[in-house]
Structure 1
Amino acid sequence: MRPLPLALFAAALTLPFVSIAPAQAATLPAVQFVKIYYNSPGSPDNGANSSLNGEWAQLRNTTRKAINLKGWTLRDKTAAPDHVYTFDAFTLGAGKTVTVRTGKGRNTSTTRYWGRSGGTFAYIWNQASDTGYVRNPSGKLIDSCSYNNSRAASVNCL
């Protein structure tokens, strides 16, 4: 093997150094929609509490730390005042999920209840198309999930 001429070697040393960074993984939101179940089981949708609780949205903490969700909101596209769920004192553990059901029930560490009642107008999620939004207490959009399918009952948001 022949040695490189000294001039070629010197030129190679003076070229600008180019660093190629590895592809960055998409940054996940701290709280992310997992699923929206927008068409509660059974027919017809009569507004009974069991039917209202058959529709729900599920959120996941994608971080390695617990997140205090007090003041965070979950809403649909309508954004009418009664279509906004505001978390009270609630901490979502690292990597954990919480399901927010439309009807009434007793809040637990894994399930929260919107508290809606009042018949067929109490449903939150439209059965044909809608968008869910989760915002932090300052109103910053953290994640959203949309669907447009009247033949399905739910949408996986991941």
Structure 2
Amino acid sequence: MKNTGRLPVNIKGWTLSDKSGHSYRFGNLRLNGHSQIRVHTGIGHDNRRDVYQDRRAYVWDNDGDTATLRNDHRRIVDSKTWGRNGH
């Protein structure tokens, strides 16, 4: 996930979900301007560069899936589709 703007954004309450409805809600996290953070499915310790969903099972479908990022008002901020379902 990348903040392409120059101003920081607090993404507390934002969600990242897949096509099947698995959803991850971000805690109190400030994403500085022109910075990025990696979102991992597995278990780990959150830090400035990586956050973990703490799931034991893999979520993203390698053959085709859609990742949807929504803000704390449930509005779509970004979406990315890949694989056989992508165009």
* TM-score after normalising by structure 1: 0.52
Structure 1 segments (4+ residues) deviating >3 Å: none
Deviation at 1:127, TM superposition (A): 1.7
User: How many pairs does the alignment contain?
Assistant: 84
The aligned residue for residue 126 of structure 1 is 61
Letter in 1 for 2:66: T
Aligned mates of 1:147, 1:84 — CA distance in 2: 18
The aligned counterpart of 1:76 is 18
Partner deviation per Cα, 1:40-93 (whole Å, 9 max, x = no partner): xxxxxxxxxxxxxxxxxxx100111110010000011111xxx10100010001
- The residue number in structure 1 matching 2:77 is 142
Question: CA RMSD for the aligned pairs?
Answer: 0.8
Percent of pairs identical after alignment? 36
After superposition, where does 1:9-158 map in structure 2 within 5 Å?
59-79=1-21, 83-117=22-56, 122-148=57-83
Bigger fraction of residues in strand: 2
CA distance in 1, matches of 2:30, 2:3: 10
More helix by share: 1
Q: Which amino acid aligns with 1:145?
A: K
Q: Provide the C-alpha distance between the structure 2 equivalents of 1:141 and 1:89, rounded to a whole number of angstroms.
A: 19
